[in-house]
Amino acid sequence: MAENQIRICQFIKLETSNGKVYYYQNYFIGENKTLGGTPYSFVPFEIDGGVSSLNADNQQVTLRLPASEYAVRLVELGDGNRLSKLVVYTRFINAAGSIKSGGLDEYYVGIGASFSDDTIELRFRSALDGVAAGFPARTLTEENVGILPLESTLSLR
Amino acid sequence: MAAKFPNITPSSRSLTMGDLPSKVYRAMSGATVRRAFGNKKTGYVMKLQFKNLGDDVSVRGGTQKTVKEILDHYCEVNGTFDTFNLGRGLLKGMGTDSANYFAGTATQSPEVSWRYARPPEVQSVQAGLSNVSVELIGEIDA
């Protein structure tokens, strides 16, 4: 009756703005588990959010961690989680504790973080194609537009 | 890790085994699917009752274990916050096989951290003597 028992382990690869990469998993308590040749250490995190929709872009997910020292450090290193990259590998585990082949791989970019008294939430988006009219995002500087106006009434010609 | 729980043999004891953290999806048909969120059992509960403990050390020539030992320990481990070890004495009176099993999987397992589930309850039963109820919880610390 294995079909009515689900064991899911989420492996995350989190790259902060300084290029440092962290590998964590949330199922095998207190263990290092190897996926694709890389050891993932245990961290009690949870992830929730959308996986797909008809619009197919910009899914938001939230990575929730206890507000411990390493989690605060992760947020700082990711510049408030605006410059971090996240890969989530969702894998099914069999009754013997082995990782089954296949699974879901998702890629996200950081968009911010929030703190509460006991948790830290890192928020991510799945794609860059949802920025619509703002793409490519450019900053007006004196170098590319000349003298900058003192008010927001701009017209592009 | 703070000081070990006082070595006082309980008058009665109940130990509830831990369980895998899981959730149940129950369909309208009644069919269930369970999802496990970890690979280790947690949430062990030990309820201890100490009857007729002395309120003062002087009871029975100063050899009596006292209520104060438990209350001192409770303060030392910062109430329900810090973890501590349990001595084998808490399993006294249990058969060897059962005691070995509980010690190995729960009370003395290095994977299980014990703390007070709630503050100890002291009930005065007669002058100088009290009953103390203690509930401990064994969990896996991240």
Quick: pLDDT tens for B26-76.
988 898 999 999 999 999 999 999 999 988 876 655 566 789 999 999 999
pLDDT of residue B59: 60
The mean-pLDDT minimum among A82-96, A128-142, B87-101 falls in A128-142
pLDDT of residue A29: 92
Closest CA relative to residue B88, chosen from B76, B104, B74: B104
- Does any CB of chain B come closer than 8 Å to the CB of residue A70? no
| Strand ranges (E), chain A | 5-15, 21-25, 33-35, 38-42, 46-49, 60-66, 85-92, 104-115, 119-125
pLDDT at residue B101 greater than cutoff 80: yes
Provide the pairing of β-strand B129-139 with B121-126: antiparallel
Q: Is there a contact between B40 and A29 if contact means CB atoms under 8 Å apart?
A: yes
- Does any CB of chain B come closer than 8 Å to the CB of residue A5? yes
Chain B CB contacts of A5 below 8 Å: 33-36
List B residues 72-111 in contact with A (Cβ-Cβ < 8 A): 111
Q: Which of the following CATH numbers is that of domain A2-130: 1.10.3470, 1.10.10, 2.30.110, 1.25.40? A: 2.30.110
Per residue in A70-106, pLDDT (tens digit) is 888 888 887 778 888 999 999 999 989 999 988 889 8
Which residue in chain B is spatially nearest to A25 when comparing CA positions?
B38
Which residue in chain B is spatially nearest to A9 when comparing CA positions?
B37
Burial of A15 (0-12, 13-18, 19+ CB in 10 A): middle
Which residue in chain B is spatially nearest to A46 when comparing CA positions?
B37
Residue A69: strand, helix, or coil: helix
The mean-pLDDT minimum among A3-7, A56-60, A118-122, B34-38 falls in A56-60
Report the distance separating Cα B66 and Cα B59, nearest Å: 9
pLDDT of residue B48: 95
Confidence of residue B100 (pLDDT cuts 50, 70, 90): very high
Q: Is there a contact between A4 and B142 if contact means CB atoms under 8 Å apart?
A: no
Share of chain A above pLDDT 70, in %: 83
Which whole number is the average pLDDT over A62-69?
90
pLDDT at residue A64 greater than cutoff 70: yes
Domain segments of chain A: what residues? 2-130
Q: Is there a contact between A6 and B37 if contact means CB atoms under 8 Å apart?
A: no
Chain A CB contacts of B35 below 8 Å: 5-8
Between A131 and A157, where is the model more confident? A157
